[in-house]
Amino acid sequence: MYEQQHAIYNQFDQIRYFIDEDKFSEMQRFELQANDLIMSCSGTMGKVAVVPVGIRKGIINQALLKLTPSKEVHCFFLKYWMESQDFQEMLKEQAGGAAIQNVASVSILKEIKIPLPSFEEQHRIVTLLDEAFADIATAKTNAEKNLQNARELFTRISGSVLAQYASTSQSITLEDLVEPDCSLSYGIVQPGDEVAEGLHIVRPVDMNTDVVMLKGLKRIDPALANSYARTTLKGNDILLCVRGTTGTVALAHSELAGANVTRGIVPIRFAPEKISHQFGYYLLRSEPAQLQIQAKTYGTALQQINIRDLRQLTLPVPAPQDQEIIVQRLSALEEETKQLTAAYANKLTALDDLKKSLLHQAFSGQLTQ
């Protein structure tokens, strides 16, 4: 329990906003006390935390609701119940449905009934859930680490594969490997608002799969792309993220021909007489390329890589016949790493489902020793 409170304390301590004493006196009814519960009432509605013992003097803002449990209610019992799927669904119903984005007042919560056993039973349930959730948290940490390692496996091993052909490879800059009409440029800086039936545009947030397709892409005013013809996609382009998660690589599906990209993405088309399309895709994801991208990435709040530095990335380019062999080997490796990542992702989903199941059991009288 102490570790849980300490973790919550750190969250409060890291995000601090200050007001003067006069303003505090005016808003003193919102002052936080140890063991109060606070719940988000806008944005990600329904997130709950317990105010830890030793919290510094402070109040909540308008995005939160404060609840002070009576002496008959264990604060962590109430927290766990409010995290349960039953409560979350009732909250949405009382607030006006699943689409609601804000909880207007505490009166909404007063309409929701809680199954309240004796304080001793509450304490027993909290103890069991604390222990179970600590184990789940450890398992999730390990699974997340394994998932990250699996994702990085391709990058590391691809570097070893390329190193085997170092004696017959040439070091060539990226700008010397692309087609003449591939400018290696940033995309549209200010894409503007969504426009029905407008021009499809790819953003870094869309690069969460190996292949980016039309479905789900934002549409913008086509006129905004008039000055960005150089980044118009031809379909099957290689997309490289240069802002935010720099180094992320994805393929643009053929159906994206005519679409464009935002400031955070550079489309790449390799000259086929120098490098095959598939080999170029793997090469950009390989350790030699990724290490250079990381080294040239700058910024804290928003990481990015300068186009000038991007163009000067030096890549190992083997002979065409060797490229074919390397593609075959890396294709097999990619399939294996996909299976690994899927397995760890499924484990994380299973752990989240287990937590939901335990909460349901706890508040339906099914949680036993």
* Three-class secondary structure of residue 37 per DSSP: strand
Give the residue-averaged pLDDT of 243-250: 94
- 177 contacts 275 by C-beta, under 8 angstroms: yes
Residue count of the chain, please give it.
Answer: 369
Share of residues in the chain with pLDDT > 70 (%): 87
pLDDT at residue number 99: 45
Contacts of 90 (CB under 8 A, 6+ apart): 112
- 36 contacts 76 by C-beta, under 8 angstroms: no
Distance (Å) of CA 318 to CA 167, 169, 280, 292: 9, 4, 11, 19
Q: Which amino acid is it at 248?
A: T
Regarding beta strands 199-202 and 218-220, do their DSSP bridges make them parallel or antiparallel, or are they unpaired? antiparallel
pLDDT at 68 over 90: no
pLDDT at residue number 98: 47
- 348 contacts 354 by C-beta, under 8 angstroms: no
pLDDT at residue number 123: 92
pLDDT at 10 over 60: no
As a whole number of angstroms, the distance between CA 101 and CA 46 comes to 10
On the CB side of 341, CA atoms within 13 Å amount to 14
Share of residues in the chain with pLDDT > 90 (%): 60
pLDDT at residue number 368: 67
Contacts of 69 (CB under 8 A, 6+ apart): 35, 36, 37, 75, 78
Residue-averaged pLDDT of the chain: 86
Strand runs labelled E in the chain: 37-40, 48-50, 64-67, 170-173, 199-202, 211-212, 218-220, 238-241, 249-252, 260-261, 265-268, 314-317
pLDDT at residue number 1: 43
pLDDT at residue number 173: 97
- 275 contacts 317 by C-beta, under 8 angstroms: yes
pLDDT at 131 over 60: yes
- 48 contacts 39 by C-beta, under 8 angstroms: yes
On the CB side of 279, CA atoms within 13 Å amount to 25
Residue whose C-alpha is closest to residue 234's, from 249, 254, 216 = 254
pLDDT at 40 over 90: no
Write out pLDDT tens, residues 166-225: 999 999 999 999 999 999 999 999 999 999 999 999 999 999 889 999 999 999 999 999
Encoded tokens for 204 = 């870094």
* Three-class secondary structure of residue 113 per DSSP: coil
As a whole number of angstroms, the distance between CA 212 and CA 256 comes to 8
Strand runs labelled E in 11-77: 37-40, 48-50, 64-67
As a whole number of angstroms, the distance between CA 66 and CA 59 comes to 9
Contacts of 180 (CB under 8 A, 6+ apart): 271
Helix axes 287-296, 277-285, angle to 10 degrees: 50
Reported confidence tier of residue 17, pLDDT bands at 50, 70, 90: low
More confident residue, 152 or 280: 280
As a whole number of angstroms, the distance between CA 272 and CA 300 comes to 37
Encoded tokens for 96 = 């006006």
